[in-house]
Amino acid sequence: MLTRIRGSRLIDPELPRDANQPGGVSDLWFRDDTIVEPPKETTTPDVDIDATGCVTMAGGIDLHTHIGGGKVSLARMLLQDQMPPWREAIPRGETSPASSEFLPAASVTASRYLDMGYTTCLEPAVIPCNARSAHAEMADVRGLDTGGYCLLGNDDVLLQLIAEKAEQPIINAYVAWMVTATRCLAVKVVNPGGINAFKFNQRSFDVDTPHPKTGVTPGQIIRVLSRAVHEIGLVHPLHVHCSNLGVPGNIASTLATIEAADGYPIHLTHAQFHCYGTEGPFKFSSASSQLVEAMQKHPNVTIDVGQIQFGQTVTISADAMHQYDNIKHASPRKSVLVDIECEAGCGVVPFRYRRRQFVHSLQWAIGLELFLTVNDPARVFLTTDHPNGGPFTAYPHLLALLSDRTLRDTALSEIDADAAASSSLKGIDRQYTLNDIATMTRAAPAKILGLHDRGSLAPGRIADVVVYRTQDQIEQMCRTPEMVFKSGKLIREKGDSYNSNDNTSSDRTLTADLHQHGFDFDRKEVAQFRSRYSENGTIAMDRLWITEEEMETVLGSRLHPTGMRTPSGEGSP
């Protein structure tokens, strides 16, 4: 099947500059599920789509959104009195029983992402002992390609290895085995060492604080993990949830975390929550300028923002230490706190962000400051840390705020006056262009994740294609695309489902295949890991291993190897 989309403006930073200029139009061709070069000779396509007056982008990629795993299930159980009856859930419609805005069912999550033109989403916290459940839940997010980040850095085995000063190749082998076993794409660390220390009654933990049992510091964990991720060949840098989330003055911990990486690539997630000073009458201030300055000095650092949205949501995190502190702020007044095996923890705390509350208003402003003062849109990524800062459905509104200073100033005037006065947001003139948006939500996420088969409209890429009707209001434009193609199949048309019974056959789980790229596991090393794991856990380490056959026949998704660097240092095709 040969398809042509004609007469639209192609927005893609990887295409020749002329194709991205206002008024410039081009045709986009794709055969079956792959974008192809325009035919050199006159050719009649099987499907010919007139997209005059539209802009066309690659499918959106969300590199940090909580859409699978035990924490999401715990949140739904905790808030079942507020949630709709899941057994009656249907995918679409304002009257759907599954229309919870901040914690939708899996099928509704997929529908809402596709409605905005997103085709790939990554779950950033897959605990190894719960990886099967996480992949099974993500497989129910039908119509999207998904993947996960393996959660390490608080497990007893790794902490023991670091405490014993194990050689880096040993640690590399352990990290590689865990990523491969859990069929993940990258490595995540949450409050390095702090979740484990919480189990020993530690209630605060900074970057240079020794663990009460092992003596290991978060700085050491960051150092060995960032190096391990780089040396085993993963494209995505170590994905870091820093120490002291939400604590006034935590910018010092964030800057210390950057230094601890020793120049290895590092990605700081939901950076807004780690960007606070202690100035002013409320002893709470924006430290966004300090983080931006640090990023200018350290080109190895990227961030996603974790922008908050006003209203009800629920916070879900492996950071049990700081979720314990947040229990007193729960709204409604209930919460769940869980210790998980020897690996991590989990805290679920419902929360409401209030527009006229100083701290919440300043958090909102800090996120926008980061978006607008990090000059390179390839180093700052659009996230709300769904659902922690708010639902991902806020993305069109956030893009409007970034693209329209007048709208931003109006929103600033509606928040707490003291917070607005203490923010630098009023003096920022920058407005995002469509090319900036395509970079931040398509090209850059694909590059940093090693997903070199998507994120662009260049020939050879997967035909994940979104057509937007050009409008003055970016929010409305991005909220309801004219058409969404997933792997070359039209699955959304003007907000309505299309070919809904045939749009999931190409769903894939994106995974890093270290075996395929020459990483061999030493039997003696694996035997050592197996012995250590049995001393600390209640299940055998080998039970963590998910086979390719199990992924497809039991969990319901096909593996798609990607996310690895070639020997030259480039991402794998």
List pLDDT tens digits, range 177-230: 999 999 999 999 999 999 999 999 999 999 999 999 999 999 999 999 999 999
Q: H/E/C letters for each residue in 114-127?
A: HHHCEEEEEEEEEC
Confidence (pTM) = 0.94
Domain contains 315: yes
Domain contains 21: no
Nearest CA-CA partner of 329 in 246, 244, 242, 422? 246
**What are 4-32's pLDDT values in tens digits?**
999 999 999 988 765 555 557 899 999 99
Domain contains 340: yes
Q: In whole angstroms, what is the distance from residue 534 CA to residue 553 CA?
A: 29
Number of domains into which the chain is organized: 1
Please answer whether residues 324 and 294 qualify as being in contact, where contact means their C-beta atoms are separated by less than 8 angstroms: no
Domain contains 333: yes
Domain contains 346: yes
**Which of 378-382, 417-421, 520-524, 543-547 has the lowest average pLDDT?**
520-524
Domain contains 323: yes
Q: In whole angstroms, what is the distance from residue 269 CA to residue 566 CA?
A: 26
Residue 467 makes CB contacts below 8 A (sequence gap 6+) with 5, 8, 49, 51, 54, 55, 56, 481, 482, 483, 484
Domain contains 384: no
**What are 315-343's pLDDT values in tens digits?**
999 999 999 999 999 999 999 999 887 78
CB-count burial class (<10 Å; 0-12, 13-18, 19+) for 542: exposed
Angle made by CA atoms 63, 121, 361, in degrees to the nearest 5: 55
Domain enclosing residue 344, as ranges: 311-352
